[in-house]
Amino acid sequence: MKKFCAHRGLSKLMPENTLPAFAAALSLGADEIEFDIRLTKDQKLIVSHDGTLERISDGEGKLKEKTLDELLALNIGVKHGWEVGFCTAEEVFEQFANKIVFNMHLKEHGEDGYLIRELVKLVEKYDAWKSVYFAGSPSELEWMEKVAPEIPRTAIQLPKDTVEIYEMATKYHCSGVQFWLGMFDEELIEKMHAAGINCNLYYADTPEDYDKYFSMGIDTLLTNRMDLANKWRK
């Protein structure tokens, strides 16, 4: 089955990583939503791709140097003309757990795997074991395997990687990989599939690219335009 994962929600048309963007993606038939998780100064789990505030909000400085209350006072919809705030990981679970699959990109792991341990508590609280998976780079994958071996892991490929993606995925017993555009081919996809590893791609935003990458064997496309993906399916 060809699947679509809404990258940070309906992020091209709405403020990214917000509850309205996730709700819109769900309404447009997304199979998954991808969102990024970080820790605040007071060790709360907040949804944000960036570690700094300037691009995404009307605030300044490093996210990790702000408390949750300080971050919740900011507007992260300014570039879209919206008034909307950050959301916590728990708010995403409250609204969407078991309604859609969560592709959770862990931007850090916290001391002794703290971020991962806290996420596992949310998975347990909302009984979302069958509709979540973690994604990350080697340092996060190592802690995922230590702290939460029961939750599926996806290895994320990045241009700066020094470890080949197949090696990374097998080393940490991942059930999936997430390719970066231009860093894979059909032979690598076949190799992953032969090892029982699903293949995501970041990202595709046009009908032409949906055709191209699904025909190559990609299982799940991350897209910023779930509105176009919905039309393509029809």
Handedness of CA 223, 227, 231, 234 (dihedral sign): positive
Two tokens at 218?
A: 């990609």
Q: How far is 51 from 71, CA to CA, in rounded Å? A: 12
Task: Give the position of tokens 């089955």.
Answer: 1
| pLDDT of res. 96 | 98
For residue 187, give the amino acid letter: E
Sole residue written with tokens 């076949």? 190
What's the pTM value of the predicted model, to 2 decimals?
0.98
Instruction: Supply the pLDDT for residue 115.
Output: 98
Domain count, the chain: 1
SS3 state of residue 23: helix
What range defines the domain where residue 183 resides?
3-233
Residue with tokens 């299982």: 219
**For the chain, counts of helices (H) and of strands (E):** 9, 9
Q: What is the pLDDT of residues 143-168, one digit of tens each?
A: 999 999 999 999 999 998 889 999 99
Distance in angstroms (rounded) separating the CA atoms of residues 50 and 27:
26
Cα(175)–Cα(149) distance, integer angstroms: 11
Supply 23's token pair. 């709700």
pLDDT at 162 (0 to 100): 83
Backbone φ, ψ for residue 222 (5° rounding): -80, 135
- Return d(Cα 117, Cα 79) in angstroms, integer: 34
Identify the CATH number of the domain in which residue 170 sits.
3.20.20.190
pLDDT at 19: 98
Residue spans of the chain under pLDDT 50: none
- 182-213 as b/e, with b when 16 or more CB fall inside 10 Å? eebeeebbeebeeeebbbbbbbbbeeebbeeb
State how far the alpha carbon of 226 is from the alpha carbons of 155, 163, 218, 221, 230, in Å. Answer: 23, 31, 17, 10, 6
What's the rounded Cα separation, in Å, for the pair 234 and 230? 7
> What is the model's pLDDT at position 1?
80
